[in-house]
């Protein structure tokens, strides 16, 4: 009977063989299509990735790491002379291409299956076209009075097993107070406030999403690997939500 260590060695070797084969296939593909490649120096990491959105009002509201930048969409439209017609984005994400195209005067349609993407798009549409002066005044009142602290109703925060314990006791209670107060507001104001909450959840939690993985800060009390993960500053709810609503 093979020992556990030998089984582990075999599995590791199989994995290494598979990775070498993938690398070999990648090199073959690159060689085959080499004549088709065109290097565009202007397409820097900053321009292409979500990093460029950090300085853009509205686009920076929600940290959608998988997104590309509005600047990239604008660059491509300008580079190839697109100034009329309609675009279709079948994987709309947070709606970057849709809103950038619309801002340039083009019609834009998009398809997005993920609820968070749909929420970002719908909230921005509402803020762009449906928000009234009174709605804005109400948001300012939330800032000046921190209305969630006065809430006499709390909304029980739903949790999945994988995210249970993601917040400190103080932040969790503040979220539940905030939710309770949100549901006393008009639909438009409520949607804006709920979206602001979605935008700050990671910054006030013990977790951080890295690719397909959810990493847990050592302060969460959850089991750690060989090297404990420290995500840095974990924001206080009141501070985080106030800054986001101000945005």
pLDDT at 4: 57
| CA quadruple 130, 134, 140, 146: dihedral, nearest 10 | -100
Mean pLDDT of 145-158: 86
28-32, 160-164, 186-190, 205-209: least confidently modelled range: 160-164
Q: How far apart are CA 200 and CA 243, in angstroms?
A: 9
pLDDT tens-digit readout, 25-37: 999 999 999 998 8
Place of tokens 């409520």: 190
pLDDT tens-digit readout, 84-132: 889 999 999 999 999 999 988 899 999 999 998 999 999 988 888 888 9
What count of other Cβ atoms lies within 10 Å of the Cβ of residue 97?
Answer: 24
| 234 φ/ψ angles, rounded to the nearest 5 degrees | -105, 115
Specify the DSSP class assigned to residue 68.
Answer: B
pLDDT at 20: 92
- pTM of structure: 0.78
Burial of 50 (0-12, 13-18, 19+ CB in 10 A): buried
Predicted confidence (pLDDT) at residue 2 exceeds the cutoff of 80? no
pLDDT tens-digit readout, 57-95: 888 888 887 888 999 999 999 988 888 889 999 999 999
Q: Which residue has the higher pLDDT, 84 or 3?
A: 84
CA distances from 18 to 2, 3, 12, 98 (A): 22, 23, 10, 39
pLDDT at 237: 97
């Amino acid at each position: 009977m093979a020992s556990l260590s030998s089984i582990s060695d075999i599995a590791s070797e199989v994995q290494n063989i598979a990775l070498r084969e993938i690398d070999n296939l990648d090199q073959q593909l690159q060689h085959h299509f080499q004549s088709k490649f065109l290097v565009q120096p202007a397409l820097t990491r900053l321009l292409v990735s979500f990093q460029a959105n950090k300085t853009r009002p509205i686009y920076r509201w929600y940290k959608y790491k998988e997104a590309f930048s509005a600047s990239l969409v604008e660059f491509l439209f300008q580079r190839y002379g697109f100034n009329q017609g309609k675009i279709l984005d079948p994987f709309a994400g947070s709606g970057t291409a849709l809103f950038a195209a619309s801002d340039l005067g083009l019609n834009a349609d998009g398809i997005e299956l993920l609820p968070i993407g749909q929420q970002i798009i719908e909230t921005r549409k509402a803020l762009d076209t449906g928000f009234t002066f009174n709605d804005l005044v109400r948001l300012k009142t939330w800032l000046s009075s921190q209305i969630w602290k006065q809430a006499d109703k709390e909304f029980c925060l739903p949790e999945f097993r994988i995210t249970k314990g993601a917040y400190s006791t103080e932040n969790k209670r503040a979220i539940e107070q905030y939710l309770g107060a949100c549901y006393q507001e008009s639909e438009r104001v409520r949607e804006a406030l709920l979206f602001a909450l979605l935008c700050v959840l990671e910054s006030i939690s013990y977790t951080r999403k890295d690719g397909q993985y959810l990493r847990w800060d050592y302060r969460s009390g959850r089991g750690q690997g060989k090297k404990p993960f420290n995500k840095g500053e974990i924001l206080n709810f009141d501070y985080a939500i106030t800054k986001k609503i101000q945005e």
